[in-house]
Amino acid sequence: MKKLIAAALAATLLLSLASCREPSGSLINTTSAGTTAEPTAETAYSAEALRAAGETAKFINENSDFDFSLFTPWNSAKNNTSYKILNGFGGAGLESNDGLTVYNFSGYPDALDEWVMTNFYTYDPEHSIIGMSCTMTSGDAEEKLTDAGFLRNNENASDIVYSRDGWRINLSVSGGVVIKIRVSFDTTNVEGVIF
């Protein structure tokens, strides 16, 4: 039961770190410079799955307008004084001054790997994610996700959820209009660490 709870906490990146040390290590990803590195911890993801996740992250980064790219290291983002630091449970976050956008950092691909930006959400219509933004119709947003190769899944009854290569995009909708967009990646917790 404890392992299940720990995995759920790592996957949802709950924010309330008390005294957890920052894990060290590297990650598999395709950065803007095109470099890749192997993770230090064992992971449940295959090398091919991680390569595909890195390519999808690169696609999202190149086709979106938000303040931090996916896989931005926590150590390079945490000193940005334009954001409020949210200490987390197995990770950390940065919240915009207006409270409309939160960037979450956790180990990738496993909870014990280097902390990088693995998920964010926004209510801010000024941010564009794959051509979508808050205040657009859900139909238009779903068309953009389908065109970008994301597949709809109905695992979350309260949101419209699309996924591609381990990445999920959740659309919160009210009255047919997108009010919140969340982009996330489920990291693993192979060692069963309880935070």
The residue to which tokens 């119709």 are assigned = 137
Give, for all 195 residues of the chain, the pLDDT tens digit.
333 333 333 333 332 222 232 333 333 333 333 333 344 445 567 888 889 999 999 999 999 999 999 999 999 999 999 999 998 778 899 999 999 999 999 998 888 889 999 999 999 999 999 999 999 999 999 999 999 999 998 766 789 999 999 999 999 999 999 999 999 998 877 778 776
Cα atoms in the Cβ-side hemisphere of radius 13 Å centred on 131: 12
Q: Give the pLDDT of residue 123.
A: 98
Q: Give the pLDDT of residue 46.
A: 85
Q: Give the pLDDT of residue 44.
A: 66
pTM comes to 0.75
pLDDT digits (tens, 9 = 90+) for 60-95: 999 999 999 999 999 999 999 999 999 877 889 999
pLDDT digits (tens, 9 = 90+) for 125-136: 999 999 999 999
Instruction: Calculate what percentage of the chain has a pLDDT beyond 90.
Output: 59
Calpha distance 149→147 (Å, rounded): 5
Question: For residue 81, with 0-12 CB atoms within 10 Å meaning exposed, 13-18 middle and 19 or more buried, which class applies?
Answer: exposed
DSSP 42-77: --SS-HHHHHHHHHHHHHHHHTEE-SS-TT-BHHHH
First to last CA, the chain: 14
